Amino acid sequence: MVRPPQDLLQGTLDLLILKTLSWGPAHGYAIARWIQQLTGQVLDVGEGSLYPALHRLEERGWVKSEWQLSPNNRRAKFYQLTTRGRQQLRAETASWTEFVDAVGKVLRTTTQPA
Amino acid sequence: MVRPPQDLLQGTLDLLILKTLSWGPAHGYAIARWIQQLTGQVLDVGEGSLYPALHRLEERGWVKSEWQLSPNNRRAKFYQLTTRGRQQLRAETASWTEFVDAVGKVLRTTTQPA
DNA sequence: GCCGTATACATCGACTGTCGATGTATGAGG
DNA sequence: CCTCATACATCGACAGTCGATGTATACGGC
């Protein structure tokens, strides 16, 4: 049993969603598709992860939702970033960078530390 | 409540441990200290996460353990990578890179996708 | 008019893994 | 001796993902 990037999604989903919404309001389905498309199918956000995440973000006041009609004339719940959500995005982006750097340091080390 | 890099540790711990062991055999305590030191305190591997992870890796045949005496003359269980563990390390490193790239693509995108 | 497909929302239970707290033991150094 | 750092380990609470499943509706083709 391999360990696909899928398993690494934990803790990053919120960041991904927040970032996606920073381009403008969107509904859940579109968010999932954009992420999938942008990453060339590498990241696949399942709906069973997406909707709980969206509700979580709303509960924390980082996004707010509103029922609207999508371009193809169907009802859809559009999510958009709040001011606090924008702050959160900045914070999580910084954390992410710091974390990736830290892991990178370990991965790039070739010699045993003192 | 912020989301410290701590929360991102999920799914990366195995990789970190495997990589640390690729420098040579080590016991749990030392692994945790090395990672902490290398990352400048950014990553803190708690013992409650470390030991279960170590047992998990052993169960999967990626590391094997042996009781020995540490340099300071105390009994300690030394872990070392198996051949399959080395393969696993390569695989997980590749997954990690792919994953970071994918997230990076999303984070670097400034315009709304089509 | 009917049917299949894509869109869109949502929930559920199983499962995995982390985290903080806690417990034990022992060697080294004062 | 007595404390501190080393070293192992387990426990329960908790969070979050995942696949499966369910609902409903717009649209196009026939």
pLDDT in tens, B22-48: 999 999 999 999 999 999 889 999 999
> Can you tell me the mean pLDDT for B82-93?
96
pLDDT at A14: 95
Q: What is the pLDDT of residues A39-73, one digit of tens each?
A: 988 999 999 999 999 999 999 999 999 999 988 88
pLDDT band at A6 (very low <50, low <70, confident <90, very high): low
- Smallest CA-to-CA distance from B19 within B39, B5, B4 is with B39
Report yes or no: B8 and B62 within 8 Å, Cβ to Cβ. no
- Smallest CA-to-CA distance from A30 within A80, A88, A86, A99 is with A80
Does the pLDDT value for residue B3 go beyond 50?
no
- Separation of B71 CA and C3 C1' (Å): 75
Q: For chain A, how far is it from start to end, CA to CA, in angstroms?
A: 35
Chain B residues contacting A via beta carbons under 8 Å: 2-5, 7-12, 14-16, 19-20, 23-24, 34-35, 37-40, 42-43, 91-93, 95-96, 98-103, 105-107, 109-113
- Separation of A21 CA and D6 C1' (Å): 48
User: What's the predicted TM-score (pTM) here?
Assistant: 0.91
Q: Would you call B101 and A23 a contact, using CB atoms and an 8 Å cutoff?
A: no
Does the pLDDT value for residue A2 go beyond 50?
no
pLDDT band at B71 (very low <50, low <70, confident <90, very high): confident
Report yes or no: A20 and B107 within 8 Å, Cβ to Cβ. no
Report yes or no: B19 and A104 within 8 Å, Cβ to Cβ. no
Report yes or no: B17 and B47 within 8 Å, Cβ to Cβ. no
pLDDT at B4: 47
Does the pLDDT value for residue A105 go beyond 70?
yes
pLDDT at B40: 84
Q: What is the dihedral of CA B108, A6, A76, A79, to 10 degrees?
A: -50
pLDDT band at A3 (very low <50, low <70, confident <90, very high): very low
Count CB-CB contacts under 10 A for residue A19.
23
Who's near B114: CB < 8 A, 6+ residues apart? none
**How many angstroms separate the CA atoms of B47 and A38, rounded?**
37
Written as one string, the DSSP assignment of B61-105 is: TSEEEEEEE-TTS-EEEEEEE-HHHHHHHHHHHHHHHHHHHHHHH
Average pLDDT in chain A: 90
